[in-house]
Amino acid sequence: MLRLLPLVLGAFAIGAETFLISGVLPQIAADLRIAPASAGALVTVFAVAYAFGSPLIAVATAGVERKRLLLAAIGAFALSNLVAAVAPNFAALAAARALLALSAGTFMPAAIAFATAIFAAERRGRAIALIYAGMTLATVIGVPAGAYLASFAGWRAPFFGVAALAALAAIGVAAALPRLDGLRAAGFAERLAVLRRPDVLQMLSLTTLALIGPFAVNTFLGLLAETALGVGGDRLALVLGYFGVVSFLGSQFGGYAADRWPRERSLAIILAVLIVAFPLMTLGPRLGGEAGAALLLAGVALWGLFGWAFPIVQQARLVGLDPAMAPITLSLNVSALYVGVAIGSSLGAWTVARWSVDSVGLVAGLSEVLALAWLALARAAKPAAQAEATLAAAQIEPMM
């Protein structure tokens, strides 16, 4: 497993850059003289580029030797961070974020494919979990550290820091990983065939709906903490670190729930909790005082614990649907996830511009109501679909 450490470091760097933006968004808006709501487009640009760019790149680079592809991807990620760090205006920074998404969307699937190819079947799960641990730990360590760095060195400093981490990961990939021939990837026709399956389409739609609320809030979490709690600088880093810890615990809880409880029931409970959690992040700031701060932090804790459990349970549900097509469904699920991120960040920006930053909690809660309703409709339709399948089979048997 030690040979995977460069990939873990690369995932850590990608996670830090991906989630750091919410913590430095107020500084970026002030420095580039744009409205905070407009600055939220940086998340939308990243999400759209990742959602649609990653599957296209996966097909286009399927035959490329894996080590070379990993080096190119993490190298491009490092350079894109440098471009972001010196961006003279918002347009240049948005373009850098698009490049960051494309390079991250190339590296992560290639890293997972590499890990599954060099280990025996009984060790592949641990190898994949180790790489994802790098991204998860970024929310605990990398994001608050970046916010703290930005508090005294400016918002550009964390981009330089992430570029250095990515460069170290590139050195590790070059030095420690063996060469590995390109792997066959599912083509566009295969992906579209899977996407046309009603059960798959329903699950992917749920992923998109469920991620709208979290990223309506996550995009403006730093701004919300500054305005509601009156914190900034190193104290903001503490709030982000608090969220990172509960998010990490939430990912572990998601793994436990996926293995031990009925997955649809787990998803229903998760969504129901989020419907309660997000409005607390509106009620708390409007109540004010210590009680309001406690409500806001309680909402953040519930969001971290249950919101980060959702992707784990949903991925396990997709794999259980048909393990043979799991590589395709999981890839499509990532795209569906980032479509949700794009919609959520845009919805959050609209909410902040039209009403106030604390209104994003209420809007996020309503988004989760839609997700829960969609899950309930799908569960209600399942017995009817199964009955139709049984009837069709019964009608075919006499003809055979």
Per-residue three-class SS string for the chain: CHHHHHHHHHHHHHHHHHHHHHHHHHHHHHHCCCCHHHHCHHHHHHHHHHHHHHHHHHHHCCCCCHHHHHHHHHHHHHHHHHHHHCCCCHHHHHHHHHHHHHHHHHHHHHHHHHHHHHCCHHHHHHHHHHHHHHHHHHHHHHHHHHHHHHHHHCCHHHHHHHHHHHHHHHHHHHHHCCCCCCCCCCCHHHHHHHHCCHHHHHHHHHHHHHHHHHHHHHCCHHHHHHHHHCCCCHHHHHHHHHHHHHHHHHHHHHHHHHHHCCHHHHHHHHHHHHHHHHHHHHHHHHHCHHHHHHHHHHHHHHHHHHHCHHHHHHHHHHHHHCHHHHHHHHHHHHHHHHHHHHHHHHHHHHHHHHCCHHHHHHHHHHHHHHHHHHHHHHHHHHHHHHHHHHHHHHHHHHHC
Give 185 or 94, the one with higher predicted confidence: 94
pTM: 0.87
Predicted local distance difference test score (pLDDT) of residue 394:
44
Q: Is the pLDDT of residue 387 over 60?
A: no
Q: Is the pLDDT of residue 121 over 90?
A: no
Q: pLDDT band at 133, cuts 50/70/90?
A: confident
In this prediction, residues 309-327 reach a mean pLDDT of 83
Predicted local distance difference test score (pLDDT) of residue 349:
96
Q: Is the pLDDT of residue 171 over 90?
A: yes
In this prediction, residues 312-340 reach a mean pLDDT of 85
Q: 263-298, pLDDT tens digit by residue?
A: 899 999 999 999 999 999 999 999 989 999 999 999
Q: 185-213, pLDDT tens digit by residue?
A: 666 778 788 888 999 999 999 999 999 99
Give 228 or 296, the one with higher predicted confidence: 296
CA distances from 255 to 24, 99, 181, 208, 294 (A): 30, 32, 32, 20, 28
